[in-house]
Amino acid sequence: MEEDLPEAPIATTPSDVNHTASWRTFRPVIDLKLCTKCNVCWKFCPDDAIAFDGVGFPVIRLDYCKGCAICAEECKPKAITMVKED
């Protein structure tokens, strides 16, 4: 017999309000020469930490980036590398 699991907590604050950078140890850096503007990094970012500049290149919004490296893992042309925070 299966038991009903308790309902999980639901986030009530939009991710662009939560500044999650305080625990980041690595940050993503984008090499625009390698970037193809495919937007895959943006699609996989769990924290809405990627925006776009006026010509369509991704820009990391470091106030919201927790350094999870999902963007770097999913980047096919390997335009994103993770760099240790100072």
Distance, CA of 32 to CA of 59 (rounded, Å): 10
In a domain, 40, yes or no: yes
Range of the domain at 45: 21-84
CATH number, residue 44: 3.30.70.20
Number of domains in the chain: 1
26 vs 7: which has the higher pLDDT: 26
pTM given for the model = 0.77
pLDDT value, residue 21? 65
Report yes or no on 65 lying in a domain.
yes
Task: Report yes or no on 4 lying in a domain.
Answer: no
Instruction: Write the DSSP assignment of 11-67 as a string of letters.
Output: --S-TTT---GGG-SEEEEE-TTT-----HHHHH-TT--EEE-TTS-EEE-TTT---
pLDDT digit string, tens, across residues 63-81: 889 999 999 999 999 999 9
Higher-pLDDT residue of 37 and 9 is 37
9 domain residue, yes or no = no
| pLDDT number for residue 23 | 76
Determine the average pLDDT of the residues in 36-60. Answer: 95
In a domain, 25, yes or no: yes
- Asked whether residue 3 is domain-assigned, the answer is no
